[in-house]
Structure 1
Amino acid sequence: MREPRIGIFGGTFNPVHIGHVRAAIEVAEALGLAGVEFAPAARPPHKSGDPLLDFALRLDLCRAAVSGIPGFSVNPLENERPGPSYTCDLLADLARTRPGEQFCFIMGMGDLLCLAAWKNGLGLGRLAHLAVHARQGQELEAFGRFLDHNAKAMGAAPTADPAVWSLPQGRLMQYVPVARLDVSASDIRRRWQEGKRIDGLMRPSVLDKLLTHADALPAGWGRPPAA
């Protein structure tokens, strides 16, 4: 019997919001994952120079976001590795330090379409199962087109289900439609910079944590207008 898969949800989470949490829940339910670990990037190479909260705070926000959700947790491994935060290095470290466990890396459609530009991005399927979440009823064709163009490099092959492709070593790459929630971290940061309320865009526990550390937000997001 194969070990149950554990979802690894990577991202900057600047900040983590309800869209992240809901997508992770729906992917876990759709694929029967044993759990999901949020793995915030400590030093995302593709966002160097962008406004970014301190890693320790983003880690605490993720812990607040998954609190009380069965099977959900936060993995701080990215902060323990030197240099830029590359997904391929994270997955390789997980495979090395937790032998025998099966991992499923969770990404959004936007990440998939940029995967060829990531360090060893097209090789991620040799390290873990892959799950691509997208808004319900949309982008299955884009998923298929991407794989048609990159199947050889990824070692991927289609199955009878257009939402499922086979990967090396018996792994799978799956498209998972999720509920449409038009929430983004960039919009939350913009609203905060404009002095607008961000209630309802994240779990109350996350908002409470942000407000508790309000003095750290200007350094990461820029200063809001004076009251």
Structure 2
Amino acid sequence: MTRPVIGIFGGTFNPVHVGHVRAAIEVAEALSLAAVEFVPAARPPHKNGEPVLDFPLRLKLCRLALDGLSGFSVNTMEADRPGPSYTRDTLASLGRARPDEDFCFILGMGDLLSLPTWKDGLRLGRLAHLAVHAREGLGLEHFGHFLAARAADMEAAPTADPAVWELPGGRRLTFVPVARLDVSSSDIRDRWRCGRRIHGLVGEAVRHELETHAAAVTAGWSRPVPA
């Protein structure tokens, strides 16, 4: 019997926005994932110096963003884990806790290109399938160039389809083209600081929650950046 494949969409979600949700939907549909779980990072290791909203608020915003979306949920596993939220540890923990499921880690093209800087980033394919969606104008050509240069480190082998590479243990790394939405969390934060509207960039429930806690949000996104 084929084991279900669960999409894991990790990130800081500072804040979660419509681009996150849309990308997750398109990857889930393209790869026939059984479900998708957003996993907000409690202590994102790559965001040192960047003002980040408190974890409970980011968690609540993710729940609001996915409310009513069948098959999508928020996984709170990072809440009580000590130390930085390394993807390697997250995927390993999921594999141990849920041996009857397979997992597919969803990441943007920018994340793929930065994997060499992640903790054991080039070995994530030993723990889960990987699905890469286009971001910031980076597409299949960049995907192919990166994999060609890093194939040995990732133990990846090309297939007849340039969008699919084989990984250890029968897993796959797949490029998934998605509709481009020029939305970013950094732009939303900049607009918020300037008093500009963020309508249409985040879901209405997310926007309402941000505005309900406007003072805390403004304080969170205005913390001094350490030198």
TM-score by length of 2: 0.95
The 3 A distance-change label for structure 1 pair 85 and 137 is closer
1:88 Cα shift?
A: 0.3
Matching residue of 1:175: 175
Say if 1:136 and 1:177, in contact at 8 Å, map to a contact too.
Answer: no
Give, in whole Å, the separation in 2 of the partners of 1:184 and 1:135.
10
Give, in whole Å, the separation in 2 of the partners of 1:147 and 1:78.
29
Matching residue of 2:122: 122
Say if 2:53 and 2:220, in contact at 8 Å, map to a contact too.
Answer: yes
1:178-223 residue CA offsets vs partner (Å, 9 max, x unmatched): 0010000000000000011111101111111111221211221118
1:52 Cα shift?
A: 0.4
Matching residue of 2:48: 48
The 3 A distance-change label for structure 1 pair 137 and 32 is farther
The 3 A distance-change label for structure 1 pair 137 and 12 is closer
1:57-86 residue CA offsets vs partner (Å, 9 max, x unmatched): 000000000111010000111122100110
Matching residue of 1:95: 95
Q: Which amino acid aligns with 1:38?
A: F
1:122-152 residue CA offsets vs partner (Å, 9 max, x unmatched): 0100000000000599510110111111111
TM-score by length of 1: 0.95
Look up the SS of the partner of 1:206 in the other structure: helix
Give, in whole Å, the separation in 2 of the partners of 1:137 and 1:84.
29
| Number of residue pairs matched by the alignment | 223
1:11-160 equivalent positions in 2, closer than 5 A: 11-134=11-134, 139-160=139-160
Look up the SS of the partner of 2:8 in the other structure: strand
1:32 Cα shift?
A: 0.2
- What is the identity percentage for the equivalent residue pairs of Structure 1 and Structure 2? 69
The 3 A distance-change label for structure 1 pair 136 and 119 is closer
Runs of 5+ in structure 2 lacking a partner? Answer: none
The 3 A distance-change label for structure 1 pair 136 and 211 is closer
The 3 A distance-change label for structure 1 pair 114 and 136 is closer
Matching residue of 1:191: 191
Say if 1:9 and 1:39, in contact at 8 Å, map to a contact too.
Answer: yes
Choose 145-154 or 109-118, whichever is displaced more: 145-154
Give, in whole Å, the separation in 1 of the partners of 2:28 and 2:201.
21
**What root-mean-square deviation, in Å, do the aligned CA atoms of Structure 1 and Structure 2 show?**
1.4
The 3 A distance-change label for structure 1 pair 179 and 135 is farther
The 3 A distance-change label for structure 1 pair 52 and 136 is closer
Look up the SS of the partner of 2:130 in the other structure: strand
Give, in whole Å, the separation in 1 of the partners of 2:5 and 2:18.
23
Give, in whole Å, the separation in 1 of the partners of 2:200 and 2:34.
28
1:49 Cα shift?
A: 2.0
Are 1:166 and 2:166 counterparts? yes
Say if 2:110 and 2:135, in contact at 8 Å, map to a contact too.
Answer: no
Look up the SS of the partner of 2:107 in the other structure: strand
1:46 Cα shift?
A: 1.0
